[in-house]
Amino acid sequence: MKRFFLTSILLTFMFAGFSQQDTKAKEILEKVTKTTQSYSSIDAKFTFEMDNKAENIQEKSSGTIILKNKKYKLSIPQLGLQVTCDGKTIWTYMVNSNEVSISNLDESTDELMDPAKIFTIYERGFNYKFINESVDGGVPVYNIDLTPQKPDGDIQKIKIMIDKQKMLIRGALMTGKDGNDYHVSVNQFKTDGVYADSDFVFDPKKYKGIEVIDMR
């Protein structure tokens, strides 16, 4: 599971190839992209579940994510995980071991479930198809299936649920080739909050005795 497989769902949307995709899905996703890009920032609470029926393993955690363009700040208390990205550098801080790993942001990597991309996961590398409309937790949603254009990745299929009223992604259900199913569900949105660029920089000097692993 790459970077907990959770540290991929934000930017760089290209319309090329849309004409070869499902027309209704294209129309919906274009509206989602327009809505997402209209906000200066997004602050969301989410839950993350992993289920492996063959191994009888179920894990569930919750967290928060603040997005500002390519910058983001992720916190998952149950995992003792904090991830901070200023758009160029990523700091992955493990609270329990008081250890931070520093690496460069590489947009070409195939980490499909970076939570910073939860609202724009469909934007590249996928074929997509409109499935139906349904109700999720009392909220009317569109359901769209994504299949990777490259078959050599970790994901077999992704189903995304889009809030019909807000035109934002409400959740994603990922089927992994490793036998694991991953479900990310967005529980609460706040938009256009004011955040300084310094809010997306991790300063190791503020953590006494921290171990720094610089992989840049």
1 falls within a domain? no
User: Which pLDDT tens digit goes with each residue over 32-43?
Assistant: 888 888 999 989
Domains of the chain: total:
1
What's the pLDDT at 194? 95
Write out the residue range of the structural domain in which residue 147 sits: 22-194
50 falls within a domain? yes
Please provide the average confidence, as pLDDT, over all residues in the chain: 80
Does residue 14 register a pLDDT over 50? no
206 falls within a domain? no
54 falls within a domain? yes
Contacts 24+ apart (CB under 8 A), 29-32: 29/122, 29/128, 29/144, 31/167, 32/119, 32/120, 32/122, 32/162, 32/167, 32/168, 32/169
5 falls within a domain? no
User: Which pLDDT tens digit goes with each residue over 43-102?
Assistant: 989 888 888 888 888 888 888 989 888 888 989 898 899 999 998 999 999 999 999 999
Distance CA 154, CA 78 (A): 24
CATH classification at residue 110: 2.50.20.10
200 falls within a domain? no
3 falls within a domain? no
Least confident interval from 9-13, 29-33, 111-115: 9-13
Q: Select from 65, 172, 169, 178 the least CA-distant residue to 120.
A: 169
User: Which pLDDT tens digit goes with each residue over 168-179?
Assistant: 888 888 888 878
CA atoms within 13 A on the CB side of 153: 23
pLDDT cut 90: percent of the chain above it: 31
Average pLDDT over residues 147-157: 77
31 falls within a domain? yes
User: Which pLDDT tens digit goes with each residue over 122-133?
Assistant: 666 778 899 999
